[in-house]
Amino acid sequence: MIILKKLNRLIQKSILLILLISFSISTITFSQNNGEKIFLTVCRACHTIGQGKLVGPDLVNVQNKLTEDWIIKFVKSSQSMVKSGDSSAVSIFNEFNKVIMPDQNLSDTQIINIINYIKEKSTTVSTTDVVVTPPFTLINSLGFNLDQAGKEDVNFGRQYFTGEKRFTNGGPPCLSCHNVVKDQLISGGLLSKDLTNAFTRLNAAGVDAIISSPPFPIMRTAFTEKEITLDEKYYLLTFLKQTDKDAIYQHPVNYDKKFIYSGIVGVVILMGFFGLVWSNRKKVAVNKDIFNRQKKSK
């Protein structure tokens, strides 16, 4: 009976926990349905409307190319569509360097709102023009672009990346979730993508877009009201660019089992040291020998 009661209580507790978690997740989702607002915060990092490719395709007149149902499905979970072998999904995925589009926690109506916004916006763009992706330029407050960045800037970028320098608005350092292969850095977090080859994968525009308005739910919440400033972004980009370039010259250390072995050896040494220091301690009762000899009832 007692066990049953305990089990019951455990179930109640876990239900409560699940409710709590789902509630906190739902607060991340958007409450307003304004298509423009959602597009600007969520989609714009990778997509444009009539301004050419970024990380993902230009969405101009997307409503004519694909059905509404298909878009809703794809936005909600692009990978499951790719895996199910949907031909247009696979071809888009392949066309854009197999960069995974993150799943968006949006409702059907919200997605429809976005499509309506795109529809509206597409009319202002002349569809007959051949859209050429403009070259990406980022110019910092001193008027330098990425190609003019020097060693100093890379250095600053590294400091921001590791958290050695705090972001002005208090955002978390990149290292806590991301890793880059770089000899002078300790390995970073494994919570999200390794950024060593981020530049090759996404090119400058993509990286810039993700940093400016993160499309990933967790990253978005982490940087809500803690936006990265223009100069900080500039430094981070130069750093990531350099990292990408240097990647082949790095010697990533494989700690693997060294950690555990050195831990064990350390413990043995420490215990031995303690044993020596406290060898004269009183460890047992003074009468232990006598008590051990005494007869015991079982």
Partner 1 sequence: MDVRSQVSMLFHLDKCIGCHTCSIACKNIWTDRKGAEYMWWNNVETKPGTGYPTKWEDQNIYKGGWEKIEGSGDLELKGAGKFKGLKNIFHNPHLPVMDDYYEPWTYKYSNLIESPAMDDQPTARPVSLVTGKPIDVKAGPNWDDDLSGTPDYARKDPNLANLTPAERDAMFQLEQMAFFYLPRICNHCLNPACVASCPSGAIYKRGEDGVVLINQKVCRAWRMCVTACPYKKTYYNWSTGKSEKCILCYPRLEAGVAPACMHSCVGRIRYLGVMLYDADKIKNVAKADEKDLVQSQLDIILDPNDHEVIANAKANGIADSTIHSAQNSPVYKFVKEWGMALPLHPEFRTMPMLFYVPPMLPVMASLSAVKNEKQNDKLDPIAKRWDDNWLYDTSTEELWGTIDNARFPLQYMANLFSAGDTEKVSKILKKMMAIRMHRRGVTVGDLSKEKVNGALKDANLTAEEADAIYYLTSLAKFDDRFVIPASHRELAIEMLEDTADVKGSTGFGFKERPLRGV
Q: Using the rule CB under 8 A, is 3 a contact of partner 1?
A: no
CA distances from 259 to 75, 185, 187, 252 (A): 42, 17, 14, 15
Q: Using the rule CB under 8 A, is 23 a contact of partner 1?
A: no
Residue 257, SS3? coil
Comparison of 255 and 273: residue with beta carbon closer to partner 1: 273
Distance CA 39, CA 114 (A): 6
Comparison of 22 and 287: residue with beta carbon closer to partner 1: 287
Spatial CB neighbours of 261, under 8 Å, sequence gap ≥ 6: none
* CB of residue 280 to partner 1, shortest distance in Å: 9
Question: In this structure, are residues 78 and 66 in contact, taking their beta carbons and an 8 Å threshold?
Answer: no
Distance CA 174, CA 3 (A): 46
Distance CA 236, CA 155 (A): 9
* CB of residue 269 to partner 1, shortest distance in Å: 21
Distance CA 217, CA 28 (A): 7
**Binding residues for partner 1, total number by CB under 8 A:** 14
Q: Using the rule CB under 8 A, is 297 a contact of partner 1?
A: yes
Near partner 1 by CB under 8 A: residue from 5, 98, 251, 296: 296
Only one of the segments 6-14, 154-162, 219-227, 282-290 lies at the binding site for partner 1 (rule: CB under 8 A); that segment is 282-290
Near partner 1 by CB under 8 A: residue from 32, 64, 254, 287: 287
Only one of the segments 24-32, 139-147, 222-230, 286-294 lies at the binding site for partner 1 (rule: CB under 8 A); that segment is 286-294
* CB of residue 259 to partner 1, shortest distance in Å: 28
DSSP 110-153: HHHHHHHHHHHHHHHS-SSSPP-PPPP--B-TTS-BGGG--HHH
Q: Using the rule CB under 8 A, is 279 a contact of partner 1?
A: no
Comparison of 98 and 283: residue with beta carbon closer to partner 1: 283
* CB of residue 193 to partner 1, shortest distance in Å: 45
Dihedral, 45, 51, 56, 58 alpha carbons, nearest 10: 130
- What is the footprint of partner 1 within residues 88-107 (CB under 8 A)? none
Q: Using the rule CB under 8 A, is 285 a contact of partner 1?
A: yes
Distance CA 266, CA 263 (A): 5
- Amino acid sitting at position 38: I
Query: Residues 239-278: x/- map of binding to partner 1 (CB under 8 A)?
Result: ---------------------------------------x
Residue 27 DSSP symbol: T
Q: N- to C-terminal Cα distance for the chain?
A: 32
Q: Which residues bind partner 1 (CB under 8 A)?
A: 278, 281-283, 285-288, 290-291, 294-297
